[in-house]
């Protein structure tokens, strides 16, 4: 038997598996870190009122950014839940990041000192929200135009789109309309140009009410417009569109066709 085992080992070599040979655990997806992370600062820089930190968290190196705060290499920081932005280019730093996490709070050394504000910064490329205070913009974020509703805008005399609906009707039937095309005519009351490669319009047609949050419809499109324009919009209804960090639209027409009349 002993000689048989020796022969078997020669014919069928036995390979001992060590810890170093074991397959590595798959790396966590970038979005997993959106729930927050802790680690040691490997690199940091500040510009335009914001501080960037490169954090070593269990061997995974992640970039995060918040409003400017005091920090140095070697500090241990805790980054609160934030929004990941892939392939982000910082104009002020003239630097590209594979992924950077924008957050409203980075705590240094567990002392409670944090980069935070009463109104957390929106993720990069996120449009202004209806009724929300205007937040500080992340570094490199394009300036927003028409963030406030156009004053004294006359919404009378708007004709319903052929075969279309009013804004109030879209909100009232949002569950039934989700994933379906609609047409609506309204006037542009807010306009944010070229954010995430799209133009963001808020339109109203005189239907609904601000109190019920069914009078203002958000639209994204490749078509430029300006405040006060009357537009005919055709697009697919999306509901409960969540951009993260607590910012969510109950109804939005994404990548819609817009005709300025």
Mean pLDDT by 10 residues, the chain (261 residues): 35 34 36 74 88 90 88 91 79 86 82 42 46 41 40 82 95 95 94 75 91 91 91 94 65 94 92
Query: In the chain, what are the domains?
Result: 30-108 (2.40.50.140), 167-260 (2.40.50.140)
Rounded distance between C-alpha atoms, residue 240 and residue 162, angstroms: 26
pLDDT at position 150: 52
Half-sphere exposure of 93 (CA within 13 A, CB side): 19
Alpha carbons 188 and 200: distance in angstroms, whole number: 10
**Virtual CA dihedral for 216, 220, 221, 222, nearest 10 degrees?**
130
- Can you give the pLDDT at residue 16? 33
Q: What is the 3-state secondary structure (H, E, C) of 197-248?
A: CEEEEEEECCCCCHHHCCCCEEEEECCCCCCCCEEEEEEEEEEEEEEECCEE
Q: Give the residue among 220, 70, 54, 214 at the shortest CA–CA distance from 131.
A: 214
Angle at 108 between CA 34 and CA 43, to 5 degrees: 75
């Amino acid at each position: 038997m002993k000689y048989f085992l020796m022969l078997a080992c020669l014919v069928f070599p036995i390979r001992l598996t060590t810890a170093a040979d074991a397959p590595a655990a798959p790396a966590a997806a970038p979005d997993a870190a959106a729930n927050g992370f802790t680690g040691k600062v490997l690199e940091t820089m500040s510009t335009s009122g914001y501080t960037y930190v490169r954090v070593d968290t269990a061997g995974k190196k992640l970039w995060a950014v918040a409003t400017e705060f005091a920090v140095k290499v070697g500090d241990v920081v805790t980054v609160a839940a934030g929004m990941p932005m892939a392939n982000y280019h910082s104009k002020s730093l003239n630097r590209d990041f594979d992924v950077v996490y924008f957050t409203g709070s980075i705590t240094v050394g567990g002392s409670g000192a944090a980069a935070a504000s009463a109104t957390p910064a929106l993720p990069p490329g996120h449009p202004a929200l209806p009724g929300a205070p205007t937040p500080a913009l992340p570094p490199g974020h394009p300036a927003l135009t028409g963030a406030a509703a156009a004053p004294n805008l006359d919404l009378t005399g708007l004709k319903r789109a052929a075969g279309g609906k009013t804004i109030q009707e879209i909100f009232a039937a949002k569950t039934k309309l989700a994933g379906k095309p609609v047409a609506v005519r309204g006037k542009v009351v807010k306009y944010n140009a070229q954010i995430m490669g799209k133009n963001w319009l808020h339109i109203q047609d005189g239907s609904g009410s601000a109190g019920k949050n069914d009078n203002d419809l958000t639209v994204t499109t490749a078509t430029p417009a300006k405040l006060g324009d009357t537009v005919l919009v055709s697009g697919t209804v999306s509901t409960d569109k969540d951009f993260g960090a607590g910012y969510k639209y109950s109804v939005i027409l994404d990548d819609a066709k817009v005709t300025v009349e």
